[in-house]
Amino acid sequence: MRARVALREKGVEFEYRVGDLTNKSPLLLQSNPIHKKIPVLIHNGKPVCESLNVVHYVDEAWPDKNPFFPSDPYGRTHARFWDDFVDKKFSEAQFKIWGKKGEEQEEGKKEFIEAVKILESELGDKPYFGGDSFGYVDISLITFYSWFQAYEKFGNFSIEAKSPKLIAWAKMCMEKESVSKSLPDSEKIVAYAAEFRKNSLGSE
C-alpha cells in the first residue's frame, strides 16, 4: 500500500501484480532472494525491496513532484525518526490488538493507545506530519487506517475518543486519490482479521 500511495503521489503509472504468498513466484524469489517478501518495485529492470525503502526510492527517482521529505537535514532526520516509530512501536502494538487475545491483547491495546497519543502530540496542529504537505510519515501511517475498524472491533474501544486529531488527519488523507485508491476496504480487513483470529487463536 505504501508503495502504491507513493507512486500515485508522484503521478507514476505502474502495473500492479498481486502474488500468491503461499506459492511464491519465480519473479518474487529472483527479485528479493534475501527476504522473499513483498512489496517489490521493479523499475528499469531493477528490484527495490521493503515498503519504506520503496517509498524512499520513489521520492529520489521522481524528485520533482510532491517531495516526501523536507529539504533541510534536521527536517529529514525528524521524518525518519517518526517513521521508525510508526514502523516499530505503532506497528507492533496494532498487531497485538487484532492478532492476539487475553493479556497480550490488553498489553497491545495499552501500547497502541500510548503510541497514538504520542503521534497525536507530534502531529499537533499541523495538517500533516510533514507540515503543510503530505510526506513520508503520512504515507507510512495512513496505510494502517484501513485497519482502524478492526482495532476498534477486536480491541473494543474507540480510537476517535482517544485521539480525535489523528482521526481528522486520517480523514483528510483519505480525500487524496493517491490514498483512497490504494487502501483496501475496512470491511474486508475486519473479515480477514476475524478469519485470522479463528484460525490462529481459536476465537473471533
Residue 74 in the binding site for a second copy (CB under 8 A): yes
Segment lying near a second copy (by CB under 8 A), choices 4-12, 18-26, 54-62, 175-183: 54-62
Measured from the CB atom, the residue of 23 and 35 that comes closer to a second copy is: 35
Quick check: 81 binds a second copy (CB under 8 A)? yes
Whose Cβ is closer to a second copy: residue 77's or residue 200's? 77
Q: How far apart are CA 126 and CA 128, in angstroms?
A: 5
Residue 192 C-beta-side C-alpha neighbours within 13 Å? 11
Q: Is 104 one of the binding residues for a second copy (CB under 8 A)?
A: no
Nearest approach in angstroms of CB 54 to a second copy is 8
Site for a second copy in 107-166 (CB under 8 A): 118
16 or 35: CB nearest a second copy: 35
Which cell goes with 165? 486529531
Burial class (CB in 10 A: 0-12, 13-18, 19+), 187: exposed
> Residue 18 or residue 34: which is nearer to a second copy going by CB?
34
Between 69 and 147, whose beta carbon lies closer to a second copy? 69
Q: Which amino acid is at 165?
A: K
Could you tell me how many residues of this chain bind a second copy (CB under 8 A)?
21
DSSP codes of every residue in 47-98: EEESHHHHHHHHHHHS-SSS-SS-SSHHHHHHHHHHHHHIIIIIHHHHHHHH
Q: What is residue 128's three-state secondary structure?
A: strand
Q: Is 48 in the site for a second copy (CB under 8 A)?
A: yes
Q: How far is the CB of 87 from a second copy (least distance, A)?
A: 11
Partners of 42 in the β-ladder? 47
Cα–chain-centroid distance for residue 13? 21
The residue ranges that bind a second copy (CB under 8 A) are 34, 43-44, 46, 48-50, 53, 56-57, 60-61, 73-74, 76-77, 80-81, 84-85, 118
